[in-house]
Amino acid sequence: MTRQELHQQIRSKGSYLCVGLDADFERIPRHLLKYDDPVYEFNRQIIDATQNLCVAYKPNLAFYEAQGAKGWASLQKTLEYIPEEHFTIADAKRGDIGNTSRLYAQAFFETLNFDAVTVAPYMGEDSVAPFLGFEGKWVILLGLTSNQGSRDFQMDKQENGQPLYEKVMRRAQQWGSPEQLMFVVGATHPEQFEEVRRFAPEHFLLVPGIGAQGGDLQAVSRYGFNDHCGMLVNSSRGVIFAGDGEDFAEKAQMAAKAVREEMAGLLQ
């Protein structure tokens, strides 16, 4: 999916919501266990309930890998079920030396046909470059993450006073253009968004941390928007686990609708 196509989806739906398909087997409603593939059935109903309210889906690979071969099968079926108009993100946080990264990229972009994959930049340019060699595919580089431990290293000031996350994001802009490179910036750091937009004005931002992690949608939107919105705000638990009974999909729809309505107002 191109940057322009993603912009068009955001405008047409009045939404920049990404639904995280973190299908934790221990948390999916128990009545789904009667199905041959409860994880896929859970995802299928969530997608049916939210597809008109969001522009992207982001499966977290850990919840599928933990189930072994069966989990990979659930993931494959889920991807095939997601409507083509939606942007799909493999939340895999990969990153290794060149040949290994190339095979990771092949797995997510060719075998599974995701639009994007999250990548850890710690090993430098040669660990990221192989992911950038696939036309129409995206790298979403970890910049400033939403977890508490993000302050352990990412906020460390360099000799010039620049935090480490800023150094990473500035350097990465030399590797890929805004047409193929996004950055993760967590909603739990709303005070940093204005600064991020100063040195990364054109790149899309993937913003986790809304909902269960307590991020403020209005704050991150106020400071994180660029001229074309330029954001995908993710909600996982806050949407998919809004209910745990037989009406879980309806509850998920209500939660996603509430977020989408707030987004539509902010986009005006």
What pLDDT, on the 0 to 100 scale, is given for residue 233?
A: 97
Q: Which CATH superfamily is domain 3-267 in?
A: Aldolase class I (3.20.20.70)
Give 158 or 224, the one with higher predicted confidence: 224
What pLDDT, on the 0 to 100 scale, is given for residue 247?
A: 98
What pLDDT, on the 0 to 100 scale, is given for residue 36?
A: 97
Average of per-residue pLDDT values in the chain: 95
What pLDDT, on the 0 to 100 scale, is given for residue 214?
A: 67
Q: What are the tens digits of pLDDT across the range 180-216?
A: 999 999 988 888 999 999 999 999 999 998 866 667 8
Residue 84's pLDDT band (boundaries 50, 70, 90)? very high
What pLDDT, on the 0 to 100 scale, is given for residue 160?
A: 87
Q: Are 113 and 138 in contact (CB under 8 A)?
A: no
pTM of the model: 0.96
Residue 255's pLDDT band (boundaries 50, 70, 90)? very high
Q: Which two tokens stand for residue 206?
A: 């993937």
What pLDDT, on the 0 to 100 scale, is given for residue 44?
A: 98
Question: 11 burial class (0-12, 13-18, 19+ CB within 10 angstroms)?
Answer: middle
Q: What are the tens digits of pLDDT across the range 90-118?
A: 999 999 988 999 999 999 999 999 999 99
Highest mean pLDDT among 144-148, 162-166, 181-185: 181-185
Distance CA 60, CA 125 (A): 24
Residue 139 sits at φ, ψ, to 5 deg, of: -100, 130
Q: Helices 68-81 and 38-50: crossing angle, nearest 10°?
A: 20
Query: Catalytic pick from 34, 70, 77, 93?
Result: 93
Q: Is the pLDDT confidence value at 156 over 80?
A: yes
What pLDDT, on the 0 to 100 scale, is given for residue 152?
A: 87
Over residues 127-152, mean pLDDT? 93
Q: Are 131 and 176 in contact (CB under 8 A)?
A: no
DSSP characters over 173-188 = TTT--TTTEEEEE-TT
Q: Is 257 among the residues known to form the active site?
A: no
